Amino acid sequence: MQKVVVLDFGAQYGQLIARRVRDLHVYSEVVPSDISADELLALEPSAIILSGGPASVYAEEAPSMDPEILELGIPVLGLCYGMQLMAELLGGEVAHNDVGEYGPAELRRGCASVLLTGTPDVQTVWMSHRDAVSAAPEDFMVTATTEACPVAAMELPRKRWYATQFHPEVRHTAAGSKILSNFLFAICGLEPTWTMANVIDAKVAEIRGQVGDGRVILALSGGVDSAVCAALVHRAVGERLTCVFVNHGLLRKGEPESVEHVFSEVFGIPLVHVHAEERYLRLLAGVDDPEAKRRIIGTEFWKVFFEEAGKLGDVQFLAQGTIYPDIIESGARKTGGKASTIKSHHNLIPFPPGVSFELVEPLDHLFKDEVRELGEELGLPAELVWRQPFPGPGLAIRIIGDVTAEKVALVREADAIVREELDAYNQRLFEKTGERNSAHACWQYFAVLPDVRSVGVMGDERTYERPVILRAVESADAMTADWARLPYDVLASISARIVGEVAGVNRVVYDITSKPPATIEWE
Ligand code: XMP
């Protein structure tokens, strides 16, 4: 498989470059910048991209790279810091400027360049730098400039070395996608063959190779990643996959039923539905500390899971839906020739003593939206594949204070109304714009039950009941978020429905805090 390897120098949006390359149907992965030329060669890259990064090339702690990498005969594209590093390593000069260039800049093309072919002579590009190359290395051609940047793009076609000070991976660079295509297809001669259909074929073959005629178990959580993983592993090994669904009683309304329906009835996957609702309520009784709740729920999940796994007899493999950001964020490096270290934050498995399984992680190189696409291609229903994020500890961390059956029922009903109303709102926006996560679409939305009561009046009666907090945010990746600017009439109908339909609630309030300083969840 053709592959573009991105060396990550700590870029603000390190993964973005790989995503843009994949959008062009070429497989790409990110590796730390301190990779050696030999390690890199073992990955068999067809092209190398050097990312941006926050450092100055002259700073003491500045990340560098193995200079041998430039001499492997593989085409290289340096972006921003990546370009400055190329200049420095190849004998050019980088100047430390007092004033930086941040945001849109007008790029003027110089001499002919395959990299810039098909883009306007004068175009808007996105810049984010203080230092800049002041003199290109020997033999390089300067192919573009901006007012602040005498060398905004440079290249040495004979060596297939290319570089831009601006960021083609950022959408604000109008011709960014064209520039990346020029690099991938015109310069490196790659083929746009990385599609979800091909990914399925390759992964199915890989899983069959790993599992042989062994048996696999998988913990279904109700979320997207484990669901897609199950569908994919099932495609590869059929009935030799058993799914264990631990129902902790903290899922959203209708979710356990939908898991049963999709996996048991539609896909025909052997499914063990473990009703652990009572067990969880007992464990959580009186616990009000958020971290303690998380710990109890997480520990118990695996305890229940391994109890069930033990009953299944001889099973050698455990599949799980670890995805690429889990791997990158945990700093684990998974390179071709090296043993993998998995330290995924949400996915750390506490194997009991004496228990061991070989892990099957077929999604570990996919981004979230690719996992969704794969799910659709595998025939999973859209409402499952496009489900909004939902925390592993479920409704327990949306109940402030201790968890009781009554509170779970209340927040579940309120949450169902929030979802119904805002699903419909998002659908209206989708029909208007044709985009799933268009501006002002809600990305995540739910109800929170705080640990207070307030006075109200219903009919002629004074009430002393609970408020529900509505949380609805716009976001792309949960790292930052803003509260959704919902139309008043949408807010009004959510409020009216919750107080009208959910017994025990007499007030609805809207959380108007962004992340940071708040988080999306309340606990
Ligand atoms: P916060 O509240 O930190 O959440 O802004 C960011 C995103 O992560 C989700 N989240 C979790 N997901 N297990 C998960 O699988 C968890 O324990 C957990 N806590 C938060 C949250 O819903 C949001 O999308």
**Do the two domains 4-187 and 199-385 of this chain adopt the same fold?**
yes
Look up the CATH number of domain 4-187.
Answer: 3.40.50.880
pLDDT value of residue 338 = 27
Closest atom of ligand 1 to 444 CA is 24
Answer for the pair 280, 248: CB distance below 8 angstroms, yes or no. Answer: yes
Look up the CATH number of domain 404-510.
Answer: 3.30.300.10
Is 346 an active-site residue? no
Ligand 1, atom 6, residue with closest C-alpha = 478
Q: Which residues pair with 468 in a beta bridge?
A: 508
Answer for the pair 356, 60: CB distance below 8 angstroms, yes or no. Answer: no
Query: Which CATH homologous superfamily contains domain 199-385?
Result: HUPs (3.40.50.620)
Nearest-angstrom CA–CA distance, 353 and 158: 58
Ligand 1, atom 11, residue with closest C-alpha = 391
Taking the centre of ligand 1 as the mean of its atom positions, its distance from the CA of residue 399, in whole angstroms, is 14
Is 80 an active-site residue? yes
Q: Where are the domains of the chain?
A: 4-187, 199-385, 404-510
Model pLDDT for residues 203-214, shown as the tens digit of each residue: 999 999 999 999
Phi, psi dihedral angles at 488 (to 5 degrees): -55, -40
Taking the centre of ligand 1 as the mean of its atom positions, its distance from the CA of residue 322, in whole angstroms, is 15
Nearest-angstrom CA–CA distance, 225 and 216: 17
Chunked mean pLDDT (size 10), the chain, 523 residues: 94 82 96 96 98 88 95 97 97 88 94 96 94 96 95 98 96 94 98 96 97 97 94 97 97 95 94 97 98 95 94 95 79 36 48 90 93 96 91 96 98 98 95 83 96 95 97 89 96 98 98 95 97
Taking the centre of ligand 1 as the mean of its atom positions, its distance from the CA of residue 390, in whole angstroms, is 7
Closest atom of ligand 1 to 393 CA is 17
Q: Among the options 29, 39, 80, 361, which is catalytic?
A: 80
Answer for the pair 200, 11: CB distance below 8 angstroms, yes or no. Answer: no
Best substitution site from 345, 521, 522 to test ligand 1's pocket, by max atoms within 8 Å of Cβ?
521
Answer for the pair 388, 415: CB distance below 8 angstroms, yes or no. Answer: no
Closest atom of ligand 1 to 515 CA is 5
Tell me the C-alpha to C-alpha distance, in Å, between residue 276 and each of 165, 258, 292, 302: 56, 17, 18, 12
401 lines ligand 1 (CB under 6 A): no
Q: At what angle do helices 368-377 and 196-211 cross, to 10 degrees?
A: 90
Model pLDDT for residues 346-372, shown as the tens digit of each residue: 456 788 888 889 999 999 999 998 999
pLDDT value of residue 13 = 64
Whole-structure pTM value: 0.85
Taking the centre of ligand 1 as the mean of its atom positions, its distance from the CA of residue 472, in whole angstroms, is 14
Answer for the pair 172, 165: CB distance below 8 angstroms, yes or no. Answer: no
Is 149 an active-site residue? no
478 lines ligand 1 (CB under 6 A): yes
